[in-house]
A and B are shown apart, each in its own frame.
Chain A
Amino acid sequence: MAGRVITVTSGKGGVGKTTFSANVSAALAALGKRAVAVDTDVGLRNLDIVMGLENRIVYDLVDVVEGRCRLQKAIIRDKRIATLHMLPAAQTRDKSAVTPDAMEKICAELRSQFDFTIVDSPAGIESGFQNAIAGADEVVIVTTPHVSAIRDADRVIGLLEAAEKQQIHLVINRLQPEMVRRGDMLDISDILDILAIELLGIIPEDECIVVSSNRGELAALHATSPAGQAYKNIARRLLGEDVPVLPVEEDRGLLKRLARLFKGQ
């Protein structure tokens, strides 16, 4: 079996890489694919707590790199979805404990066992980022509609092209339809015009993300979360399904409809 290794990166921190990695891995697993989410943020691990698996860690990525345990032993199997897995980062070490060569070897091994290996990159463009992209077949860049995130995304795209990564997808996170509608937030076409890469999906701002992560649950497994639905759509697109990138559903409240009426829209 030759699976796909997809690295999730952004340049800027706090744009939603870890939430994306956790939820898309879960959505792929829920569709019956064998998926593993890999945390490469050594020293600042978070994927475990977002996925609700923080109490089950025995071995981690650095233990595998340094030969203290076999890869199999460090991988945690999720109890909610049988095909979902997670490989945690070390919390007490720094990024120099992993090298690009070591990551390439680990990714090669994971590729032979899983349909999808989703590698969650640390923020920044230093060694942790270089480790995260070393074994990647594809890269997903997560950005938000903010100037700082878009500028960093552009920088990362340049570095990925220099590293000869061919398949680069864009995900726009935390879009607020109401702000876009009144022209106070960059819209999808503005961002695509600036970054000029292929769009994989759009995720709306959604309180459910905070609530889910508080509980160690995954929004992608909720029936009603708008962001969860967006993650499911992205998973289906990764599987080659033609799911339209729909404009994000607006709040159809009475006040908002009245406001639109006043503005002649």
Chain B
Amino acid sequence: MGFLDTLVKRLSPGGYTQQSKHAAKERLKLALTYDRGGLAQGTIEQLRDEIIQVIAKHLAINEDEIEIHFDRTSEQDKLIASIPLRMPSRTRAKGGQATTTATKAPTQSRKK
């Protein structure tokens, strides 16, 4: 990094790149969710495939737009799934999509 880059980064509020502590925190939270739950890497992908299979039996869904991730707070660990539905055309409202969101607590969480 050149002197000018360094200077610009130093003088702009917070720096023009994101502060690295946010990356540290997000990466730690995800790693600890796996550690604490004793989950294998790849669990999310497997979950995703199985959830698609189950829901697709009953509902038309947009497979490409499914989002599944873990969320950790000091109170609770959550699995958050956002599964956009493809609505049948005759009931389709303006906008054309509905979203169902499921949450569950996959792992025990420590209390303060």
Q: Which of B10, B31, B111 contacts A151 (CB 8 A)?
A: B31
Contact of B35 with A by CB under 8 A: yes
Nearest Cβ on chain A to B99's Cβ, whole angstroms: 29
Contact of A193 with B by CB under 8 A: yes
Docked-complex contact B21 and A190, CB < 8 angstroms: yes
Contact of B112 with A by CB under 8 A: yes
Contact of B104 with A by CB under 8 A: no
Nearest Cβ on chain A to B72's Cβ, whole angstroms: 8
Known: A183-B21, A187-B21, A259-B10. A158 touches B36 (CB 8 A): yes
Closest residue of B by beta carbon distance from A264: B13
Closest residue of B by beta carbon distance from A185: B21
Q: Which of B11, B22, B32, B35 contacts A263 (CB 8 A)?
A: B11
Contact of B88 with A by CB under 8 A: no
Contact with B along A223-248 (1 / 0, CB 8 A): 00000000000000000000000000
Docked-complex contact B28 and A184, CB < 8 angstroms: no
Docked-complex contact B21 and A186, CB < 8 angstroms: yes
Known: A151-B35, A194-B32. A182 touches B24 (CB 8 A): no
Which residues on A are within 8 Å of B, measured CB to CB?
A: 147, 150-151, 154-155, 157-158, 161, 180, 182-187, 190, 193-194, 196-197, 259, 262-264
Contact with A along B25-38 (1 / 0, CB 8 A): 10111011001100
Known: A155-B35, A182-B15. A190 touches B25 (CB 8 A): yes
Docked-complex contact A183 and B14, CB < 8 angstroms: yes
Contact of B53 with A by CB under 8 A: no
Q: How many residues of B contact A (CB 8 A)?
A: 23
A-side contacts of B36, CB under 8 Å: 154, 158
11 new A-B pairs (CB below 8 Å) besides A157-B110, A190-B25? A151-B31, A151-B35, A154-B35, A155-B35, A158-B35, A182-B19, A183-B15, A184-B20, A186-B25, A197-B110, A263-B10
A-side contacts of B28, CB under 8 Å: 147, 150-151, 194
A-side contacts of B24, CB under 8 Å: 147, 186, 190
Q: Which of B13, B20, B27, B74 contacts A193 (CB 8 A)?
A: B74
Residue among B12, B14, B28, B36 with most chain A CB within 10 A: B28
Docked-complex contact B21 and A184, CB < 8 angstroms: yes
Closest residue of B by beta carbon distance from A155: B35
B-side contacts of A150, CB under 8 Å: 28
A-side contacts of B110, CB under 8 Å: 157, 161, 196-197
Nearest Cβ on chain B to A83's Cβ, whole angstroms: 35
B-side contacts of A196, CB under 8 Å: 74, 110-112
Docked-complex contact B25 and A184, CB < 8 angstroms: no
CA–CA, A262 to B15, complex, Å?
12
A-side contacts of B20, CB under 8 Å: 183-184
Sample 6 A-B pairs with CB under 8 A, ordered by A number: A154-B32, A154-B36, A183-B22, A185-B21, A196-B111, A259-B10
